[in-house]
Amino acid sequence: MNYLPLFTALPLLGAFLIPLLSKIWERLSDIISNVITTLLLILSVYSLFLLPIFGKVYVYEIGKWAIKPIPLGIVFTFDNLSLLMVLVINLLSFACSLYSITYLDNYTARWKFWTLFLLMVAGLNGVAITGDLFNLFVFIEISAISSYALVAFGVEKEDLEASFKYQIIGEIAGLTILLAIALIYAKTSTLNMADIANTFAKESKGPLFWFIISLLTFGFLIKSALFPFHFWLPDAHSQAPAPISAMLSGIFIKVVGVYALSRLIFNIFGLNRLNASHYFNLLLILGIFSIVIAGFIALKQENYKRLLAYSTISQVGYIFVGLGLANFWSITGALSLIFAHALGKGLLFLTAGPVEKEAGSLDIHLLSNFKKRMSFYGIVYTLGALSLAGIPPFLGFFPKIFLILGAIKGKRFEVAIILGIFSLLTLAYLLKITNKVFTKKEGEEVKGVSSIVISFLFLVFLIFILGLFYLNYLEPNLISKATEAVISGVEYARLVLIK
Amino acid sequence: MSSFELLIILPIILGFLGYLISFLRNEFYFLGAILNFYYAIRIFLISRKIEVTRKIFNILNFSVDKLSGFVLLFISLFTLLILIYSIRYLKYYEKKKEYFYYFLLIGAIGCGTVLAGDILTLIIFWGILLSLISLIFGFFQYATKEGGEFAFVKSISILGFSDFLLILGLGLLFISYGNLSFNLKLPLNNTINILSFILITIGCFAKAGAIPLHSWIPEISKVAPAPTMAFIPASLDKLLGIYLLLRISYYLFDLNTNFVLKNYLMIIGSITILAAVLMALIQKEVMKLLSYHTVSQVGYMVLGIGTGIPIGIAGGLFHMLNNAIYKSCLFLTAGQVEFWTKETKIEKLGGLAPNMPITFTSFLISALAISGIPPLNGFFSKWMVYQGVIYLYKEGNYLFPLYLLSAMLGSILTLASFLKLTHSIFLGERPKEYEKIKEVNFSLWFPSALLAFLSLLFGILAIPLPIKGLIYPSLPFRIEEFGFWQPLLAFILIVLGVIVGFVIYLFGAVKKVERKDIFVGGELLKEEERHFSGDQFYSPIKEAPLLEKGYEFGEEGSFDFYNYLTAIFSGFSLLFKEVIDYILELIYHQIAYFSEIFGGLLRKIQSGILSDYLFVIFIGIIIILLILIL
Amino acid sequence: MILDKNFINQYLLFTFLLPFLATLIYSFKDKLVRNWEFYLFLVLLIFSSYFIIFSNNLLLIYIFFEISTLVAWRLVLIKRENIKAGNYLLYFNFAGAVLMLIGILLILVENGVEKINFSAFNLENLYNISLISGILLSFGIFTKSAIIPFYSWLPVVYEVSPVPVIALLCGIAENLGLVIFYKIFIAPLLNVESSFYYFIIILAIFTSIIAGGIAYFEKKLKRILAYSTISQLSLILYGLALKNDYGILGALVLILSHALAKSGLFFRMEAKEAVGVGFGYTLLFLSLSLIGIPPFLGFVGKILIIIGSLKINIFLGMLTIISSLFTLLYTLKFYLILKKEKGENIIANFIVYLFAILLLIFGVIFLIYSFKIL
Amino acid sequence: MLPYLGCIILFLIGIYAILTKRNLIKIAIGFCLLEYSVNLFFAFIGYKKDALAPIYANLSQARNFVDPIPQALVLTAIVIGLGTTALLLSVALRIYEKYKTFDIKEIKRLKE
């Protein structure tokens, strides 16, 4: 598995090649980026089969700087959790880059988009596979900066406003994370995550420890837009171009926020419900607040993408409830929700593109009076919405099972009921669009456009087929292993350092 | 296949053939009824000797004893006679095809009901009968007369209501004792028995038409053609209802073990007699008047059965038979009148006796019979009931004078109302348009004439024929010989009296009727106003101080159980609709409304101002720090 | 239970097939529903009911239950302006289904299932159902089969939906809840707390009475029929919950009878009178079966349920009778309204005729056999 | 301890600027201050009193070196900060072009 650096190297390479080569022929940028995302997808699927051969963790030492006996070199660690994230990132980035081929006809600066897009993919992949704390920060910033730029890509009034607000809040998070890293370094004098874990395991958990945790939590909660740190998200996600909204909502907040946080608190700091129940209760309560409040706000939204953005906040709440319950089932639920939500919400945001192009607006009220019929997009949207609301047999149903099961097993019966009942709210606000925009019988039918249609079909196929094979294949081979990686805590450090 | 199946199945098959094949249709129906009658006779004859039971399909259990044998015979007879009548009567009826088929089915199923040997069979046949009755009543909605739909709904509501209670009662027995046959004489001393007895009697009352479940009969009489009235409320339902009442009172249960229940029956009987006859007195429509009498007569049967005295019970049973005979005869003759005149309003009729002598004779005999004029059969059975009531004093039941009084008063008032009816239809002034009216055909007058003849026969030869032959053997009691009444002797005496009267008429002073002009207030009454009908006969009674209020109530439907039934259920419906449904709707709408409002409020958090966001975020970090470090 | 489980499954499928076929035939003459969307959902519905009947896995049952909800939702939206009613249906059923899911998972936890895979949901692996999880599980059934307090969606949906859709709803979709109740709580003889059954019995019989009462009060034909459906479905549930042979058998019979009678009545609304076919009498047949008068099929179910309830106590028998009385009253009421209705579809008349005759024939056959085996 | 205090003061000034200033450029400056404070803090971590710079190649005895890693990290962080600041300012300028104002309270088209 020594191709591991390719996950970041390939998109970075693409990002540097594209400005040069697109001078020759602008369409070349499409080809390069699509080839790269396809390669990444192939690599990540290949890793799915390859990783079990290498055991639970594969460690790649950059520049052959051995991490033993002194962990000085920078490493990439690739365990099952990283595998899950890489797989999700590359599935969705594949779909989005495919989609963007036709979508970008609306915009002028093709190659700029592709450069930023690949930078973001590189950053996200880097976050998922890195084993070094500072590298984590760097990758977060790479993806974040490119996302700031991409949100402002349309250069309209609202785009710039959203981007500015997003940047300020996002960078505060970034700085907080940097501060926390500085503190960690001050405390441990190492940046290797496994080594940090070992060091913290030996020490008692004083106020400084908790201060670091709070800073990290603060930073990553902003990144993952949990209530009350969500304010940037509805603006940014609703103003970005459709594929970028899909990427941001589908994977960005999860990789940069949820993944990084859970990697740190579970694997590095070794927190679990036994030694830090108040911490997890905090996550749980914020998660529930997110679910409820963002759900109700989404119900009243009048803008297609803004509604979906609020829905994302609500769904992140579900993920955090899963993390907050912190038992095997709930974390399985949270991780599978990351998977399901990435595909589902990505699909929903992608449908916004052709709709906006056809109707010239995303205002639901205007769309409901739009004269043409968009049955294909309507069906795609509805399937995605049903999956997100947790209706079988789609993929989104299984996270719900595991989250509720986790709540029951965690003796949090009220949480189980809340999770169940508020998925009704999810259904209600998502179907609001189906009902108002797509439920028409008369009018001229809008024709689908080629690469957009293919990406839709790809995602719908995934949602459906993964839903069918969830319990038989996906759960035992991918998600429960990833859950084990999370739940086993500082076992991660031992596995990394044994190499 | 034994006679039991054939009795029921043959009419069904032949009726169905008649229904399908337009060729020889009436002959098929007729053949079905004939075969039914034939097998009924056979079974009747068998039942004289032994008690037979037969199980079909492991579920239908038929048995016949002397009681059911004789009821069966008469049901079959009535089916045949009235079918003959109605084939002619309803010749131009729009939906006669279905009508005759259902008619025949009712006859067959009615026989099945009588033959039912256990609880389940009874439930099934009783229910099928209800469905057939509702099917045949369904036709009246198509009748040109108004109120057909309401009559249909009302009658089926009442019958269905009582049938459901009957099923509940029988089901209760079924649960408690298993699938019973009817000859057990269970004592009426525990709750289940008493409850199921009461529930079953409700079914019987509705079928037979006892107050307070009677009101469907006058209602349906407004729209139903005469043969239907003659068949369903007047004969079949009487036979079945009273038969079942008798069955449960002295075969399935033993009524004599419960004093209170006996009085319950007798009170219902007395009230029925009196109230219905009072209502009948003031009716202005032939059919409705007759139907109130139908109700009234049920009172005697219930009273007789309720006495618990063998002679009274026998009287009740005999009265059932008699009533079926003369009441169907009355309906049929009324139908014959209507057949030509197309009129059932009393005030519009009159003076038809010379035109329709056979009809008139039949009507007169039946009217006298129903009024209890000796030596006709009505008198005899009533007299037996009186005797039963009088014997009550031996048991220490000191309410008996009241029962006796109401029974006798009822008899008198019946006579009174029939005087009015006979006068109005057949005597008095004849309206001009009716002058050309002739006697009806043979197939119309024959059934009624036969029934009238039966009335006469059962009156004169009461003791040898019906009492000794049918009634006494059917009852499981030893019946004491009674009184000094010799109907034959009385008949001879009466005939002698009539002859003497006739002689006096021939040779006496009364020679010729003298016609004089009529003056009112000094003015000559016009020819067309000279017609005087009998409908005003009893207006004074209506205006009597005590009865006035009662009549008012009666006219408004205050004694109509259907109104109470619908009122109670409507009340509940209103409660459910306006309270429970409303509350649920409110809750669900409130939830939707609340989430809208809540969403609207919450979205204000997103103010669009960056400083506010940052402020909230910093408060957030402070709270996190506080929670985690402290 | 005296009947073979396998036989009952086949019987249930049979009860679903009749309305399915009728709707299929009907749709050939109806412009509104003659499109691929309708046929797709029709097939999906019968497919999911097949799986619900024959599956032995709680998860599969649940999944197809939800699919049937989706299908019902889309069926209502065949007429696009019915969005509000369709959503009402979907949200109610979804809420119920979610609670049902919680119930299922709770049962799993109570039975000590540690690893979640497909076979963990097999009914054979379950032994106990506690009161609370039973009630949660039955919420899904309550919404689908419209029991208090979750019946409110049904009249709203019926009022606006086209006839074939309602026929499918009352003939197939709503019975699925009952089938699930039968499969989980009645057939496998699990160790369920007996208070659970009392709870269901009380709820079901009161729903039956109350819905009957409301039906008597309603003025609009489709709403009367809707409340009547609620009343009948809860009566069936009540019969099942009685948990004795009479009650269960009665309920099973009543499923068929209700499916035929009610969908027949709805088809009657669209029927065009053909020559030589007893138009008013077929209607009367259907009504009489609904009331429960012999020899029609409805009677067999009702009498068995009455006997079954009397076996428990007299009071329940009384309540059953009161429910039947309401049925009698409202049936006569809508009979008069329906008699005046005339539609356009000639096939509908054939269906009504067929169903009426079937009710009579099945009535006689079931009467004989049901008492023979008891 | 004093340098750390300076760090914190700088940090607080940055927060103050972000929270209270309405001008976009001032917010950006406040943001830069925050960034500098964190960088400064990072640089201080590596510092040890009287320690040598870690560039000697051959040493005969163990000596007290300054930790070199934070400096490398801070360099990276400064670069990243450069990138973000540049992007922030360019967006701010574009906003001025479109909105004709730098007042953050005027820039609230996206709300609710």
Query: What is the per-residue pLDDT across A97-126, written as a single tens digit (0 to 9) for each?
Result: 999 998 988 788 888 999 999 999 999 999
Answer yes or no: do A229 and B595 touch at CB < 8 A.
no
Q: Where are the domains of chain C?
A: 5-373
| A157–chain D Cβ distance below 8 A for any pair | yes
Instruction: Point out which residues pair with A303 in neighbouring strands.
Output: A363
**Which of B96-105, B275-284, B524-533 has the lowest average pLDDT?**
B524-533
pLDDT tens digits for range B223-235: 888 888 888 888 8
- Shortest CA distance from D111: residue in chain B: B608
Answer yes or no: do B167 and C318 touch at CB < 8 A.
no
What pLDDT shows up at residue A187?
Answer: 86
Q: How far is B593 from chain C (nearest CA, A)?
A: 14
- Chains near C with 3+ CB pairs less than 8 A apart are A, B
Answer yes or no: do A228 and B603 touch at CB < 8 A.
no
| C316–chain B Cβ distance below 8 A for any pair | no
Mean of pLDDT values over B241-254 = 87
Residue B513 has pLDDT above 70, yes or no: no
Answer yes or no: do A475 and C101 touch at CB < 8 A.
no
Q: Is B50 a domain residue?
A: no
CB-nearest partner of D111 from B606, B611, B614: B606
Q: How confident is the model at residue A147 (pLDDT cuts 50, 70, 90)?
A: very high
Which of residues B428, B448, B479 is at a domain's end? Answer: B479
Instruction: Point out which residues pair with C123 in neighbouring strands.
Output: none
Q: Which of A369-383, B90-104, D51-65 has the highest mean pLDDT?
A: A369-383
Q: How confident is the model at residue B183 (pLDDT cuts 50, 70, 90)?
A: confident
- Cα(A222)–Cα(A227) distance, rounded to whole angstroms? 9
Residue B528 has pLDDT above 70, yes or no: no
C283 in Cβ contact with C338 (< 8 Å)? yes
- Chain A interface residues (partner C, CB cutoff 8 A): 329, 386, 389-393, 397, 400-402, 404-405, 408-409, 416-417, 420-421, 423-424, 427-428, 431, 435, 439-441, 471-472, 475-476
Q: How confident is the model at residue A347 (pLDDT cuts 50, 70, 90)?
A: very high
pLDDT tens digits for range D53-95: 777 667 777 777 778 888 888 899 999 999 999 999 999 999 9
Answer yes or no: do C218 and B175 touch at CB < 8 A.
no
Q: Is B508 a domain residue?
A: no
- Shortest CA distance from B165: residue in chain C: C321
Burial class (CB in 10 A: 0-12, 13-18, 19+), C327: buried
Residue C279 has pLDDT above 70, yes or no: no
CB-nearest partner of C321 from B128, B165, B577: B165
CB-nearest partner of B599 from A214, A222, A296: A296
Residue A459 has pLDDT above 90, yes or no: yes
pLDDT tens digits for range B458-468: 888 877 777 77
Residue A370 has pLDDT above 90, yes or no: no
H or E segment at A265? none
What pLDDT shows up at residue A306?
Answer: 92
Looking at the structure, tell me whether residues B290 and B431 fall in a common domain: yes
CATH number at D35 reads: 1.10.287.3510
Q: Is B385 a domain residue?
A: yes
**B420: Cα within 13 Å, side-chain hemisphere:** 23
- Shortest CA distance from D20: residue in chain B: B611
Is there a cis peptide before residue A69, judged by omega within 30 degrees of 0? yes
Is there a cis peptide before residue B212, judged by omega within 30 degrees of 0? yes
Looking at the structure, tell me whether residues B437 and B577 fall in a common domain: no
Q: Is D85 a domain residue?
A: yes
Residue B144 has pLDDT above 70, yes or no: no
Chain A residues lying within 8 Å of D24, measured CB to CB: 164
- Shortest CA distance from C96: residue in chain A: A421
What pLDDT shows up at residue B143?
Answer: 61
D21 in Cβ contact with D102 (< 8 Å)? no
What pLDDT shows up at residue A386?
Answer: 92
What pLDDT shows up at residue A323?
Answer: 92
Answer yes or no: do A299 and B605 touch at CB < 8 A.
no
Answer yes or no: do A298 and B599 touch at CB < 8 A.
yes
| B608–chain D Cβ distance below 8 A for any pair | yes
Residue B480 has pLDDT above 80, yes or no: no
Q: How far is D101 from chain B (nearest CA, A)?
A: 14
Interface of B with D in 545-604 (CB under 8 A): 603-604
Query: CB neighbours of B175 closer than 8 A, spacing ≥ 6?
Result: C307, C310, C311
What pLDDT shows up at residue A456?
Answer: 93
Answer yes or no: do B615 and D111 touch at CB < 8 A.
no
- Give per-residue burial for A410-428: e unless 16+ CB within 10 Å, then b: bebeebbbbbbebbbbbbb
H or E segment at A58? strand A57-61
Tokens of C214: 């409301």
Q: How confident is the model at residue A198 (pLDDT cuts 50, 70, 90)?
A: confident
A429: left (phi over 0), alpha (psi -120 to 50) or beta: alpha
pLDDT tens digits for range C78-112: 888 888 899 889 989 999 999 999 999 999 888 88
What pLDDT shows up at residue B142?
Answer: 64
The DSSP symbol for B212 reads T
Percent of chain C at pLDDT exceeding 70? 98
- State chain A's mean pLDDT as an integer: 89
- Chains near D with 3+ CB pairs less than 8 A apart are A, B
Looking at the structure, tell me whether residues B418 and B327 fall in a common domain: yes
Residue C56 has pLDDT above 80, yes or no: yes
Answer yes or no: do D95 and A234 touch at CB < 8 A.
no
- Shortest CA distance from B607: residue in chain D: D111
Containing structural domain, residue B598: 561-629
- Cα(B293)–Cα(A460) distance, rounded to whole angstroms? 79
CB-nearest partner of C102 from A393, A417, A440: A417
Q: How far is B583 from chain A (nearest CA, A)?
A: 21
Residue A449 has pLDDT above 60, yes or no: yes
Q: How confident is the model at residue C270 (pLDDT cuts 50, 70, 90)?
A: confident
Amino acid (one-letter) located at B87: I
Which of residues B460, B479, B498 is at a domain's end? Answer: B479
Give, in degrees to the nearest 5, the angle at Cα A263 between A258 and A269: 125
Residue A314 has pLDDT above 90, yes or no: yes
What pLDDT shows up at residue B1?
Answer: 57
| C278–chain B Cβ distance below 8 A for any pair | yes
What pLDDT shows up at residue A96?
Answer: 93
For residue B196, CA distances in Å to A2, B193, B259, B268, B307 come to 89, 5, 16, 18, 20
What pLDDT shows up at residue B422?
Answer: 84
What pLDDT shows up at residue B534?
Answer: 63
Chain A residues lying within 8 Å of D83, measured CB to CB: 141, 145
Counting the structural domains of chain B, the total is 2
pLDDT tens digits for range B587-610: 988 988 988 898 889 888 888 888
Mean of pLDDT values over B334-342 = 83
- Cα(B161)–Cα(B213) distance, rounded to whole angstroms? 10
Q: Where are the domains of chain A?
A: 6-497
Mean of pLDDT values over B205-211 = 86
pLDDT tens digits for range B291-300: 888 888 888 8
What pLDDT shows up at residue D56?
Answer: 66
For residue B51, CA distances in Å to B47, B183, B242, C335 come to 6, 12, 21, 44
| D13–chain A Cβ distance below 8 A for any pair | no
- Chains near A with 3+ CB pairs less than 8 A apart are B, C, D
Chain B residues lying within 8 Å of A176, measured CB to CB: 621
Chain B residues lying within 8 Å of A165, measured CB to CB: 610, 613
Percent of chain B at pLDDT exceeding 90? 0
pLDDT tens digits for range B273-286: 888 888 888 888 88
Which of residues B479, B514, B547 is at a domain's end? Answer: B479
Q: Is B554 a domain residue?
A: no
Amino acid (one-letter) located at A249: S
- Chain D interface residues (partner B, CB cutoff 8 A): 15, 18-20, 22, 27, 104-105, 107-112
Residue A321 has pLDDT above 90, yes or no: yes
**Which of B160-174, B523-537, C41-55, D13-27 has the lowest average pLDDT?**
B523-537
A129 in Cβ contact with A7 (< 8 Å)? yes
Looking at the structure, tell me whether residues B576 and B467 fall in a common domain: no
Instruction: Point out which residues pair with B116 in neighbouring strands.
Output: B62
Q: How far is A392 from chain C (nearest CA, A)?
A: 5
pLDDT tens digits for range A461-491: 999 999 989 888 888 888 999 999 999 888 8
Residue B186 has pLDDT above 70, yes or no: yes
Alpha-helical segments (H) within A203-327 = 207-223, 232-239, 242-247, 260-262, 277-299, 304-325
C270 in Cβ contact with C336 (< 8 Å)? no
